[in-house]
Amino acid sequence: MSSRSVRALLSVLAGAGMVLASPAAVPANASSAPAAAAKAAVVDGCYTWNGTLSEGASGEAVRQLQIRVAGYPGAGSQLAIDGQFGPATKAAVQRFQSAYGLSADGVAGPQTFEKIYALQDDDCTPANFTYDELNNCNSDWSGGKVSAATARANALVTMWKLQAMRHAMGDKPITVNGGFRSVSCNSAVGGAANSRHMYGHAADLGAGSQGFCALALAARNHGFTEILGPGYPGHDDHTHVAGGDGRFWSAPSCGM
């Protein structure tokens, strides 16, 4: 992935915040900083965290972490992306750490961030999903029930949930047939008037090697509040997953 090809070890001042960074942005004399006042950190093409984040922290660095652990909220739950590192975020970090064989202490430090860096590309999408997959409607994410920026941001969270689900299912590819729809795109395909596709929250999944039911059942553990699959009207040929308010799961043919 491109982000992995541009990472390098640099000497930067210790801190607790998050900075946008790229190798080209580092001052030429950065390596001259006194060793006692600096530490090694990995610079990532998307976001770089310095220091550690733990319960009680807040701010944009926490919000960006929450996006990447959104797929680890626990069965039937959804993690709030609010920039507040509370007990739910700590538990999500612990599940993420356990999933990747890290020490599950709930503190996001160098090992946790290095794993995130390895999983994401320079546009902040997870390694196995792209914005193009989540938008077959238009190129600018406009025309939905929320602003284009919000729809795109919601789709990013959806992708990280799918990445967690993919890993839990043995890292087998998950086929995404569609995601965001403008109001007009939703109408053209006969979507529900209140479809979460128009908010950027939703994705429709193909059977792949897992099968529709396995996908629907697995989605319960990865932050999806709406899951519709075989046996629900109009969903025998795909599994629909979405975030957002409320919870509605129905895939009668799958026992759900």
DSSP for 140-198, written as a single string: S--SSSS-HHHHHHHHHHHHHHHHHHHHHTTS----EEE-B--HHHHHHTT--TT-GGG
219 φ, ψ to 5°? Answer: -60, -25
Mean pLDDT, rounded, for 88-108: 98
Mean pLDDT of the chain: 88
Cα angle for residues 103, 104, 107 (degrees, 5° grid)? 100
pLDDT at 41: 54
The Cα–Cα gap between 15 and 21 comes to 14
pTM of the model: 0.85
**Higher pLDDT pick, 26 / 189:** 189
pLDDT at 1: 47
The amino acid that residue 242 corresponds to is: A
Position of tokens 């090992």?
Answer: 111
pLDDT at residue 29 is higher than 80: no
| Secondary structure class of 40 (helix, strand, coil) | strand
Kindly report, residue by residue over 187-213, the tens digit of the pLDDT: 999 999 999 999 999 999 999 999 999
The Cα–Cα gap between 3 and 123 comes to 9
pLDDT at 12: 32
pLDDT at 44: 87
The Cα–Cα gap between 243 and 223 comes to 7
Report whether 218 contacts 168 (CB < 8 A).
Answer: yes
Mean pLDDT, rounded, for 215-222: 98
The Cα–Cα gap between 124 and 256 comes to 33
The Cα–Cα gap between 182 and 120 comes to 27
Position of tokens 């196995």?
Answer: 128
Active site residues: 235
Mean pLDDT, rounded, for 5-28: 38
